[in-house]
């Protein structure tokens, strides 16, 4: 079996060019389906009042797919260029390292979510694989970030002395809207508005 380093670029061209183009095109719609499907399989529970997939998760998945496509094209074209010069191709490790980082970006985007349930607010920030939680009884302060002109709510932050969890808010997200309303009725917190 030939290694990737020793395979002729003419043999690789149709496979890599097709794969790169498919990745580029699907990057515009695949993140929505992939994030929803995988997060539902891994994290969703019927006990959640609201499950929030932050925009950053979709954006990171999009960037990861574009990055992988660029790595594929870079590998193909550098291999073709070096073969034309009659030299041995020695850049495989650069492309493999970049590919591993791109896969890491895809995985991190899948692990970026937040949800509300009867126990409290829970979130997994982008750069971690661990979930932070705060129980409703432990919340000491609630702030909401609002837009300056319209005063539309961007996010709610639930905090105590140790933990602070920010939940993205969108008026069109019925479940989150209803969960926040329910929490505000159950707990008589004074909510501080922070203008963005």
| Span 136-158, pLDDT tens digits | 999 999 999 999 888 789 999 99
Tell me how far CA of residue 136 lies from CA of 6, 94, 97, 147, in angstroms.
59, 48, 43, 26
State which residues of the chain have pLDDT below 70. 1-6
- CA 67, distance to chain mean position in Å, is 14
Our CA angle for 145, 180, 47, nearest 5°, is 130
- CA 54, distance to chain mean position in Å, is 7
Q: Which pLDDT belongs to residue 62?
A: 97
Q: Which pLDDT belongs to residue 5?
A: 62
Task: Name the nearest CA neighbour of 193 among 159, 145, 139, 151.
Answer: 145
Residue 128 CA to residue 60 CA, distance in Å, equals 14
Helix or strand or coil: residue 97? helix
Counted residue by residue, the chain has a size of 196
Domain residues of the chain, as ranges? 9-110, 117-195
Reported pTM: 0.87
Strands (E), the chain: 50-52, 113-116, 120-124, 132-135, 141-146, 153-159, 164-168, 191-195
Residue 56 CA to residue 60 CA, distance in Å, equals 6
């Amino acid at each position: 079996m030939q290694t990737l380093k020793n395979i002729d670029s003419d043999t690789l061209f149709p496979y890599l060019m097709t794969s790169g183009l498919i990745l580029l095109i699907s990057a515009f719609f695949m993140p929505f389906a992939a994030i929803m499907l995988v997060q539902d399989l891994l994290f969703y529970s019927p006990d959640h009042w609201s499950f929030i997939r932050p925009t950053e998760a979709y954006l990171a998945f999009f960037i990861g797919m574009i990055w992988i496509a660029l790595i594929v094209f870079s590998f193909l074209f550098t291999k073709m260029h070096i073969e034309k010069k009659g030299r041995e191709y020695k850049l495989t490790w650069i492309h493999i390292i970049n590919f591993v980082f791109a896969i890491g970006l895809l995985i991190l985007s899948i692990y970026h979510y937040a949800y509300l349930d009867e126990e409290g607010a829970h979130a997994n920030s982008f750069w971690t694989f661990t979930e932070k939680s705060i129980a409703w009884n432990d919340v000491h302060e609630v702030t909401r970030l609002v837009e300056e002109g319209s005063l539309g709510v961007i996010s709610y932050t639930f905090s105590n002395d140790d933990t602070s969890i920010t939940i993205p808010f969108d008026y069109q997200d019925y479940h989150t809207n209803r969960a926040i309303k329910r929490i505000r009725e159950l707990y008589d917190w004074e909510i501080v508005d922070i203008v963005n």
